[in-house]
Structures are given as C-alpha cells and as structure tokens.
C-alpha cells in the first residue's frame, strides 16, 4: 500500500493555490508546516489514517524542483461533473491543461478523466469511474 506521495515545488504559494482549488472538494484537509503542505483525508476518532497522504514540499536537496518524466498522481472524484468542475478550478488557480475531461479510447468505458499540470509542471489526473453514470459507449 502506498503511504504517501510527495511532489517538489519551488513556489509553495502558487502550489497551495492550485491544490486548494480541488483537493478540499475531494475531502482532503490541508495542514501547513515549515516543510510545506500536507493533504490528508480526515481520520475518524480511533481509526487508522486513510492512505495515501499527499505532500507538496520544497526539494530536500535545495536544487530546483522538476516534474518527473512519466510521473503522475491521480485523484478520484465522485462524478464526471466533479471532474469537469475541479479541472476548471485547478486551471483557474494556475494549472495547465494536459487533457480536457472526457473518455479515452485506451481506457475502460467508464473511466472519465481530465489531466493537468500544476504550476511546477507535475502531472495530475482527476478521474471518475462512477458506475451510476453513462459510460463512453452509452
């Protein structure tokens, strides 16, 4: 099981604006600290944390942050409309379009996805596979 994912950024303020445009709508809570931003799903009293957590931090070695070639973090939305809404909100918050929300021929008939780049160019996917919504072939 993946415990956490970290992306490096040089502009923590721009990254905060970008990630706060959609992660709270997916249930993530933000905790800010001297090391950067930590996003986690709330933990009911007496239960173990829901994983993975997502961290946005300056690089550990102090060199400029860079996006990994082939690296992508995907967040699941509740619906196709939420994918569209959050994709638009993330673009308005400084993100870059990497693929408008929609179905892709290469994936299953219910996999609805939109792709983004954060201000540091880290690749992000927002997707829904809600079985109660129309699929690509419906």
CA–chain centroid gap for 79, Å, is: 15
Residues shown for the chain: 138
What is the largest distance, in Å, between two alpha-carbon atoms of the chain? 50
pTM of the model: 0.91
Distances (CA, A) of 32 to 7, 12, 39, 80, 136: 15, 10, 9, 30, 39
Per-residue pLDDT of 100-127, as tens digits, reads 999 999 999 999 999 999 999 999 999 9
In CATH terms, 4-59+71-128 corresponds, of 2.20.25.90, 3.30.750.210, 3.40.430.10, 3.10.180.10, to 3.10.180.10
Kindly report, residue by residue over 11-25, the tens digit of the pLDDT.
999 999 999 999 999
pLDDT given for residue 44 in this prediction = 87
Domain spans, the chain: 4-59+71-128
Local confidence band at 1 (pLDDT 50, 70, 90 cut-offs)? confident
């Amino acid at each position: 099981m993946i415990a956490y994912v970290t992306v490096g950024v040089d502009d923590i303020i721009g990254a905060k604006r970008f990630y706060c445009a959609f992660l709270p709508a997916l249930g993530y809570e933000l905790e800010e600290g001297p090391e950067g931003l930590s996003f986690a799903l709330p933990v009911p009293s007496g239960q173990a944390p829901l994983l993975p957590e997502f961290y946005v931090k300056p690089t550990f070695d102090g060199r400029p942050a860079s996006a990994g070639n082939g690296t992508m973090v995907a967040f699941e939305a509740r619906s196709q409309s939420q994918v569209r809404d959050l994709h638009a909100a993330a673009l308005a918050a400084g993100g870059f379009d990497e693929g408008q929300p929609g179905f892709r021929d290469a994936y299953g008939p219910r996999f609805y996805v939109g792709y983004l780049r954060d201000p540091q160019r880290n690749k992000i996917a927002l997707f829904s596979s809600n079985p109660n919504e129309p699929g690509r072939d419906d």
